[in-house]
């Protein structure tokens, strides 16, 4: 699950390792997601250690779920706090290369390193779970997981809407077949067709 919308998401500002609290809409998204969880019934829950995920995981009913720093969003370096429209206006080539995973802003994290840490963390938690695992994370973490587990190129994966689920089925946490069962699943419709960056 991607965390609920934050104030910075609503302003289209990149958060990375920084934080902004959930907006009123983000809290509603998290609360609406509880209904879906009643049907899914995960056996284990983990989240990123960043505040927006911790706030979301508490709202969906798992305030004591463990936090893992390996599930943090991509570090966006000097672009942290900047708005998507401003970055596109000032650095269009670099912005779209970043979205494709071939550029990183100064002080930011390289896509391949990010993807590797996300894969390691999720495989670790899957191995510990005795059944379905719910990870409350970030848009970039979900895209990194799809890239790692399904070999999808970063440039081909659209951002994930806040407060929605992506479902993967694993034959084995350390190998075997992985299937995408759902993407951007939620009970709370987004205001626009385009999800805002994390």
Q: Any bridge partners for residue 170, and if so which?
A: 178
Residues 1-21 have pLDDT tens digits of 999 999 999 999 999 999 899
- Residues 6 or more apart whose CB falls under 8 angstroms from that of 71 comprise 46, 47, 48, 49, 53, 118, 121, 122, 135, 137, 138, 141
Distance CA 198, CA 187 (A): 20
pLDDT band at 191 (very low <50, low <70, confident <90, very high): very low
Classify residue 96: in a domain, yes or no: yes
pLDDT band at 186 (very low <50, low <70, confident <90, very high): confident
Residue 37's pLDDT is: 84
Classify residue 64: in a domain, yes or no: yes
73 in active site: yes
Q: Which residue has the tokens 């104030």?
A: 7
Residue 194's pLDDT is: 44
Among 73, 104, 109, 138, the active-site one is 73
Residue 64's pLDDT is: 97
> Closest Cα to residue 35, out of 5, 7, 1, 10?
1
CATH code (residue 131): 3.40.50.1240
Distance CA 177, CA 172 (A): 7
Residues 73-132 have pLDDT tens digits of 999 999 999 999 999 999 999 999 999 999 999 999 999 999 999 999 999 999 999 889
> Closest Cα to residue 62, out of 157, 158, 133?
133
Residue 197's pLDDT is: 57
pLDDT band at 193 (very low <50, low <70, confident <90, very high): very low
Residue 29's pLDDT is: 95
pLDDT above 90: residue 198: no
Residues 123-161 have pLDDT tens digits of 999 999 988 999 999 999 999 999 999 999 988 888 899
Residue 34, domain extent: 7-185
82 in active site: no
Residue 174's pLDDT is: 72
Residue 124's pLDDT is: 94
pLDDT band at 187 (very low <50, low <70, confident <90, very high): low
Classify residue 198: in a domain, yes or no: no
Classify residue 197: in a domain, yes or no: no
* Number of domain units in the chain: 1
- Residues 6 or more apart whose CB falls under 8 angstroms from that of 78 comprise 105, 106, 107, 108
DSSP state string for 73-136: PPP-GGGTT-BHHHHHHH-HHHHHHHHTTS---TT---HHHHHHHHHHHHHHHHHH-SS-EEEE
pLDDT band at 189 (very low <50, low <70, confident <90, very high): very low
> Closest Cα to residue 11, out of 81, 78, 95?
81
| Rg from Cα positions in the chain | 16
Classify residue 39: in a domain, yes or no: yes
Pseudo-torsion of CA 163, 160, 141, 32, nearest 10°? 10
Residues 35-68 have pLDDT tens digits of 888 777 888 999 999 999 999 999 999 999 999 9
Task: At 2, list the tokens.
Answer: 């991607």
Classify residue 195: in a domain, yes or no: no
């Amino acid at each position: 699950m991607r965390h609920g919308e934050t104030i910075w998401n609503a302003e289209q500002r990149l958060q990375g390792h920084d934080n902004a609290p959930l907006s009123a809409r983000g809290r509603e998204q998290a609360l609406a997601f509880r209904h879906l969880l009643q049907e899914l019934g995960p056996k284990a829950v983990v989240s990123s250690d960043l505040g927006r995920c911790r706030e979301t995981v508490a709202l969906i009913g798992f305030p004591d779920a463990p936090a893992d720093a390996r599930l943090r969003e991509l570090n966006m370096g000097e672009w942290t706090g900047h708005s998507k429209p401003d970055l596109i206006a000032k650095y269009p080539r670099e912005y779209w290369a970043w979205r494709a995973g071939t550029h990183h802003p100064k002080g930011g994290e390289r896509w391949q390193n990010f993807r590797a840490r996300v894969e390691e963390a999720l495989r670790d938690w899957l191995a510990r779970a005795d059944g379905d695992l719910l990870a409350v994370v970030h848009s970039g973490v979900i895209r990194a997981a799809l890239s790692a587990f399904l070999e999808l190129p970063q440039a081909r994966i659209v951002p994930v809407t806040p407060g929605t689920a992506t479902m993967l089925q694993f034959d084995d946490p350390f190998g075997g077949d992985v299937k995408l069962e759902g993407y951007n699943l939620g009970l709370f419709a987004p205001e626009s067709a385009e999800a805002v960056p994390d």
